[in-house]
Structure 1
Amino acid sequence: MSKSILKASKPTNNQNGSWFSKLNNDTSLFNFRNKDQENSNDIINELSPKELRRVRFPVKTDLVTEYILIKEQDTLEKVVIEPVNVQTSLQLLSLYELICKNKQEPTIDSFVSTLIMQPQATSLSRLDLTNQHITKQSISPLADIMSIDFGIKELILCNSGLEDDAVKILMHSLLENDKITYLNLSNNPKLTATGYKYISVYAKEVHEYMI
């Protein structure tokens, strides 16, 4: 009996050694794409409404009153405001300063001086702010005050640097208190046709109320 010098070859695992099986292992391109798809699905699931929790954060905001025109800028919107009980100029001044503080706007010096000079007055028939520069921001608190019936019949804002936006706010406010019988807005060269349109709308509305 003769012995062979050739060693018997060990059986090999064809499945593990084939080139196709290597493509199917964990590092293959196909499995990589499958895992990438699974990761995307996991992210989508995490963002689903069932996984999200509602969290509320306190936010400090400053509310600003805006006055708008309606009906394509042809008429001024009139809003009903609850009456404020103000009996003296001093109370009116306190209210005005509070409004300025809440809106974070500076006070109008000449208006403050007028109220300080007669603190116990129960009405103010004439308000003359000639040569007092008034902006859109500073006129907003004044417009709120003008909505209060404190007996003001004459309002003079000559040479006050008024612009269209400021006049828009003022005209809206005056519609809330249609007691004004004399209004002087002369010498305000920054006003354009838009500003005069606001004035004409106010004049038209007041005229309709008087009829």
Structure 2
Amino acid sequence: MRGDPMDVAIALSLVIAEANQEPWKNIVCTFSDDPRFVDVTPNNGTNLDQRVTEVMLMDWGMGTNFEGVFDKMLEVAVANQVPKDKMAQTLFVFSDMEFNSANQDHIWQTTHERIEKKFKIHGYEMPEIVYWNLRASVFGGYEPVDRLRISDMSGLRGLRASVFGGSKPVDATQPGVTMLSGYSIGMLKAFLENRLDDMQPIGQMEAILNSKDFSHLQLAEADIPKG
């Protein structure tokens, strides 16, 4: 991952990590086959630039062992005797690829059931995965949605990128996974204000259609021939 997706992923990871409660505070997890929890707590004299560099140098790969991540979450929760109501509710994954590219979708159903069973044994609900593909293609390209202009139909291409994630529609069939695709200032604002519904396909479509770019459009009423 590089460019805007990398910058956004690091920024959001640090924001979420710092806002978390113990024992998850200032903890991020590497995106790899052998996931590790990394403490990014600011040390005395550590500035933001150094923290960003530290995260950039973490191990990462073209896929991740989601079961391994949840095993580590459960291990931490049990070791710290985390109450049920204090258990992490959401695992945020920031990537530049589709969920099915990072995880073999044909085995996810079985993996999800296995993870869910492990959590129930210890009295916890399995956290939901919010998987955010920060690099949504636009007709084969990689242009961020908020940089597209309304002229020459590019606004409609931006709409397609936000709602459908570019190469294919957002898959809503994966159990326990909320999938987001693309990146824009509107999505970032909705995310930081904890309005995930606004970031789903329908919410994104409504937000775009209600934007000032489309404010000049009017619905013309006309008699529709019958038959």
Q: TM-score range by the shorter chain?
A: under 0.3
TM-score (norm 1): 0.25
Q: Give the structure with higher Rg (CA).
A: 1
TM-score (norm 2): 0.23
